[in-house]
Amino acid sequence: MPMSTIKTNKGAKFTLHWPSLDEYTTRVKRQATIMYPKDATTAVHLLDLFPGAHVLEAGTGNGSMTMYIQRAIQGPGSHLDTVDIRNEHSLQAEQNIERFWRGIYRQGITFWRSSGGLERVIKRLNGSDQGVDHLGPSSAELETETTLTASQLKKKKMESMEKMPPNPHSPDHQYDAISLDLPDCKLVLLDLMPLLKNDRPMCLYMVNMSQILDLAKWLRSNCKELVMERVLEIGWKEWTVRSAAVRSKVKGRVHVGGFGAVSLLPPSPSSGERDESVPDYGPDNIPDDALGWVCRPVQLPRGHTGFLVQLRKNST
Ligand SMILES: C[S@@+](CC[C@H](N)C(=O)[O-])C[C@H]1O[C@@H](n2cnc3c(N)ncnc32)[C@H](O)[C@@H]1O
């Protein structure tokens, strides 16, 4: 579908175009809070991604960051392992990715769904699960379990049935970058270290400064191998730059709406009818002698979304 214009029965014009990745990720069906384009694109930059890279991501959520990563790495030999603890999130993400531009970013992704979360998938990836398909307690172990309620036991049984994909990598495989958007990721960092190449980055999405401070203190006493290089809060200040009719120069009574609004004629106060003798000046048909320009920030809420924390492995 090339870009085209359609008109409603009331005469309003719309243009149709293929959604950009930004438009798609912010409007598609959601199961989880997404990483917004301003953060996702910066995270791609902090992760220093390149075509052919191997990346580990957790949690997959809605698949927004997954698509930004894929767009940066997809190419011969690339691979993205993405992990979520919630089945429904991961399934939604996979569907979202398959539906974007007929699935151009789907190839080369392994979706890991495990109620044991990243912690459990790491065992599969580092080979410590000995290659079994499920990593939960065995049925025999569960039979002897007496401390759990019936629903806890049911959940554990379901976990024990969980199928995991085979590890697609060689035993000594390491990633070029790791991206984490999890409620609390500190405790898995030590287990992730062997999976990350030396001198390569990790990017953590964290919502508040106390979490980051906590992480900094924890790294200092538990993981000197990870260096906190940068903490960023990404601002996004959008401006509008467009033409508008200058009221004093337009002959007749023309109402120019707020900045960025299409100039429309208000109804005449006496009759309630539009005054057809005054032309309707939209943004593209303003006469030259009435042309002015508007440049100012768009007044939209673009508040705090989160922080990006760049860490680097330094095992020298
Ligand atoms: C904020 S969402 C991620 C959004 C995602 N980055 C995006 O752009 O769409 C956080 C996700 O982490 C998942 N999660 C929470 N704890 C986890 C764990 N231990 N292992 C894997 N995923 C986990 C949640 O189920 C949720 O889908």
**What integer pLDDT is reported at residue 260 of this predicted model?**
36
Cα separation, 19 vs 131, in Å, equals 41
Token pair of 74 as six digits: 């997809």
Token pair of 303 as six digits: 């508040």
Q: Which residue bears the tokens 């410590």?
A: 128
pLDDT in tens, 208-250: 999 999 999 999 999 999 999 999 999 887 788 888 777 766 6
Enter the CATH code of domain 13-129+164-236+304-313. 3.40.50.150
Give me the numbers of helices (H) and strands (E) for the chain, helices first please.
9, 11
Residue 188, number of CB atoms within 10 A of its CB: 18
Tell me, what amino acid is at 218?
W
Cα separation, 276 vs 268, in Å, equals 10
Q: How many residues does the chain have?
A: 316
Tell me, what amino acid is at 297?
P
Ligand 1 atom nearest residue 40's Cα? 8
**pLDDT cut 90: percent of the chain above it:** 53
pTM: 0.79
* Ligand 1 centroid – CA 65 distance (Å): 11
Q: Indicate which residue's Cα is closest to atom 7 of ligand 1.
A: 34
Q: Which stretches does DSSP call E strand in the chain?
A: 4-7, 13-16, 54-58, 79-84, 109-113, 177-180, 201-206, 226-233, 239-245, 291-297, 307-313
Give me the mean pLDDT over the 41-55 stretch.
98
pLDDT in tens, 78-137: 999 999 999 999 999 999 999 999 999 999 999 999 999 999 999 999 988 755 555 455
Tell me, what amino acid is at 2?
P
Give me the mean pLDDT over the 179-186 stretch.
94
What long-range pairs does 170-173 form, CB within 8 A, spacing at least 24? Answer: 171/127, 173/54, 173/125
The preferred substitution site among 182, 185, 191, 206 for testing ligand 1, maximizing ligand atoms within 8 Å of CB, is: 182
**What integer pLDDT is reported at residue 6 of this predicted model?**
87
pLDDT in tens, 250-307: 655 444 444 333 333 344 444 444 444 445 555 566 778 878 777 777 765 456 678 8
pLDDT in tens, 129-178: 755 555 455 555 656 666 778 777 776 766 666 778 889 999 899 999 99
Give me the mean pLDDT over the 176-195 stretch.
95
- Is the C-beta atom of 59 inside 6 A of ligand 1? yes
Task: Tell which wins on pLDDT, 1 or 176.
Answer: 176
Alpha carbons within 13 angstroms on the beta-carbon side of residue 199 total: 1
**What integer pLDDT is reported at residue 272 of this predicted model?**
43
- Is the C-beta atom of 183 inside 6 A of ligand 1? yes
**What integer pLDDT is reported at residue 133 of this predicted model?**
53
* Ligand 1 centroid – CA 181 distance (Å): 6
- Is the C-beta atom of 65 inside 6 A of ligand 1? yes
Task: Tell which wins on pLDDT, 306 or 26.
Answer: 26
Render the chain in DSSP notation, one character per residue. Answer: ---EEEE-TT--EEEE-PPPHHHHHHHS--SSPPPPHHHHHHHHHHTT--TT-EEEEE--TTSHHHHHHHHHH-STT-EEEEEES-HHHHHHHHHHHHHGGGGTTTTTEEEEE-TTHHHHHHHHHTTTTTT-S--S--HHHHHT--SS-HHHHHHHHHHHH---PPP-S-TT--BSEEEE--S--GGGHHHHGGGB-TT-EEEEEES-HHHHHHHHHHHHHH-TTEEEEEEEE-----EEEEEEE-GGGSSS-----STTSPP-PPPPTTTSS--TTS----TT---GGGEEEEEEE---------EEEEEEE---
Give me the mean pLDDT over the 71-77 stretch.
97
- Is the C-beta atom of 309 inside 6 A of ligand 1? no
**What integer pLDDT is reported at residue 154 of this predicted model?**
73
Give me the mean pLDDT over the 68-87 stretch.
97
* Ligand 1 centroid – CA 184 distance (Å): 10
Task: Tell which wins on pLDDT, 58 or 157.
Answer: 58
Domain borders along the chain are 13-129+164-236+304-313, 239-299
Determine the straight-line distance between the first and last CA of the chain, rounded to whole angstroms: 53
List Cβ neighbours of 51 (8 Å cut-off, separation of 6 or more): 72, 73, 74, 75, 76, 78
